[in-house]
């Protein structure tokens, strides 16, 4: 029996046919244990870590990260008995990684020189040379001797007597006379006729780009002096510095692929898009809105946070909204149903798998709390907290997103008042819970600042007519207006 086991991409349930390899948690040559996570795979519903079916050594990885693989295709080979020695003939042993193969250099067959010798090949394809010297690339050439025009050595009939040159004393420093600051010569209008200036002054003017004909000389007989040229040059420099900088014209805007981003539609986002299109064009949607005073809901939430049994669990207004939905379903069970086109029936569920829409890095998912109607308020709070934390980590299993019967989308966390949500496939109602904001509200005949929110309920009009949808939404609003009273009278 072969000791090399091929591990195929397993069927992760819910009719999924493929998955994308997000990341390998092991590499070739790693020793693994049974049920150790070895790869992270994104399906159309979630990202999951897949454990190994056998312990042993990773012999080969068939697919790289980023590859989409069909269910049942081999993704990795595992040597289940590495202590048994070399592999039998015909079996594949550990395969070197692409990185190690890329580092292998093949020496040339001809003209090979022992590695390490000067001028020979060195590791990495370099040429071995002395430190401080590069490889020899040109032919050496003798430098001409000094003393002859053509570089040849002179023929001497007698030894030459070399006389050491007498030391030359450094020139005494000359103290310049105090400079006389003269007004800058007028530069501008070009004069006609010859300009009086000495040759060194003319050369200086050419070097500095000064036109002597534009200067008024301050020397004898109106001649232009060195100082006149230098002052004119300094004035031109200051004028250039004071001139406003010329801003280059902006490049013309382009509207092509260089300014576009393409995001592959796959995984969770692809399935969400398909489901939303199918739901939007299959179930006739109706949306109703209700604005309610949730001041007492916020006060009840503060009381819950102060109670001992709730101090170690995260509480939010969503907890009381979820409780309101669950209690309203007891009054109107038809809301918790699905339309079966195959059998021509309406299937009313006696359990509520309450879905909570969650935004993740991979797209929108709707995991659900199984049989949420049977949970106590404390258990419901714990389930909501766990659901949110797992969704944020991207580790929600597909089973948590299957079988939903009724959903809530909390758009209020983004500061949105409400919306018109689309039904998840197979469900008949979804509630949008908007932001709770302080607003003016008529309370006991007076205008006061109250905590107000707006609810939006979308439902399948094939199952839920306007009357049923309105009563269901009204009961949710009544609960949020007075949650303590509702808990006492409804349960």
Helix (H, G, I), strand (E, B) or coil at 337: strand
How far apart CA 265 and CA 44 sit, in angstroms, is 11
Confirm whether 461 is a catalytic residue.
Answer: yes
**Exposed/middle/buried for residue 396 (C-beta within 10 Å: 0-12, 13-18, 19+):** buried
How far apart CA 465 and CA 48 sit, in angstroms, is 40
DSSP 365-401: E--EETTGGGS-HHHHHHHHHHHHHHHHHT---GGGG
Count of Cβ atoms closer than 10 Å to residue 120 Cβ: 14
The Cα angle at residue 475 between residues 470 and 481, in degrees rounded to 5: 125
Structure tokens at 149: 């025009």
> In terms of DSSP bridges, do strands 358-360 and 363-365 run parallel, antiparallel, or are they unpaired?
antiparallel
Which residue is listed with tokens 């008529």?
Answer: 442
Catalytic residue (one of 285, 332, 443, 461): 461
Which residue is listed with tokens 């190994």?
Answer: 52
Helix segments in 394-447, DSSP class H:
none
HSE at residue 263, side-chain half, CA atoms within 13 A, is 7
Alpha carbon distance, N-terminus to C-terminus of the chain:
63
How far apart CA 35 and CA 19 sit, in angstroms, is 20
Supply the DSSP symbol for 222: G
For residue 454, give Cα distances in angstroms to 292, 323, 402, 424. 6, 17, 29, 21
Sign of the torsion angle spanned by Cα atoms 404, 285, 364, 48: positive
How far apart CA 370 and CA 330 sit, in angstroms, is 16
How far apart CA 458 and CA 325 sit, in angstroms, is 13
Helix (H, G, I), strand (E, B) or coil at 309: helix
Active site (catalytic) residues: 461
């Amino acid at each position: 029996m072969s000791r090399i086991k091929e591990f195929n991409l397993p069927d992760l349930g819910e009719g999924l046919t493929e998955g994308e390899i997000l990341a390998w948690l092991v590499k070739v040559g790693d020793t693994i244990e049974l049920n150790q996570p070895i790869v992270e795979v994104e399906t159309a519903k979630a990202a999951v870590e897949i454990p190994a079916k056998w312990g042993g050594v990773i012999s080969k990885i068939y697919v790289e990260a980023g590859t989409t693989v069909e269910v049942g295709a081999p993704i990795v080979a595992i040597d289940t008995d590495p202590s048994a020695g070399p592999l039998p003939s015909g079996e594949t042993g550990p395969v070197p990684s692409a990185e190690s193969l890329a580092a292998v250099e093949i020496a040339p067959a001809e003209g090979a020189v022992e590695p390490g010798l000067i001028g020979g090949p060195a590791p990495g394809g370099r040429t071995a040379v002395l430190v401080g010297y590069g490889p020899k690339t040109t032919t050496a050439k003798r430098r001409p001797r000094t003393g002859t025009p053509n570089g040849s050595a002179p023929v001497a009939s007698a030894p030459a007597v070399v006389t050491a040159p007498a030391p030359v004393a450094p020139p005494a420093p000359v103290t310049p006379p105090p400079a006389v600051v003269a007004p800058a010569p007028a530069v501008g209008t070009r004069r006609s006729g010859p300009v009086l200036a000495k040759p060194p002054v003319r050369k200086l003017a050419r070097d500095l780009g000064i036109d002597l004909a534009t200067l008024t000389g301050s020397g004898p007989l109106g001649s232009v002096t060195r100082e006149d040229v230098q002052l004119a040059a300094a004035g031109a420099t200051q004028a250039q510095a004071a001139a406003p900088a010329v801003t280059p014209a902006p490049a013309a805007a382009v509207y092509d692929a260089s300014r576009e981003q393409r995001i592959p539609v796959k995984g969770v986002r692809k399935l969400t898009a398909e489901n939303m299109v199918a739901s939007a064009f299959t179930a006739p949607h109706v949306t109703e809105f209700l604005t309610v005073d949730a001041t007492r809901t916020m006060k009840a939430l503060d009381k819950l946070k102060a109670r001992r049994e709730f101090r170690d669990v995260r509480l939010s207004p969503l907890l009381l909204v979820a409780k309101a939905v669950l209690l309203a379903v007891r009054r109107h069970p038809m809301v918790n149903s699905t339309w079966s086109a195959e059998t021509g029936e309406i299937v009313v569920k006696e359990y509520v798998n309450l879905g909570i829409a969650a935004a993740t890095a991979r797209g929108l998912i709707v995991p659900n709390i199984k049989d949420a109607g049977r949970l106590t308020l404390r258990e419901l709070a714990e389930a909501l907290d766990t659901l949110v934390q797992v969704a944020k980590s991207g580790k929600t299993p597909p089973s948590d997103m299957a079988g939903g019967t009724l959903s809530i989308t909390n758009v209020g966390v983004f500061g949105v008042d409400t919306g018109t949500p689309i039904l998840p496939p197979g469900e008949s109602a979804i509630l949008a819970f908007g932001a709770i904001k302080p607003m003016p509200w008529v309370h006991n005949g007076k205008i006061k600042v109250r905590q107000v929110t707006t609810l939006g309920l979308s439902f399948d009009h094939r199952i839920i007519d306007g009357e049923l949808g309105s009563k269901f939404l009204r009961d949710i609003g009544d609960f949020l207006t007075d949650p303590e009273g509702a808990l006492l009278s409804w349960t």
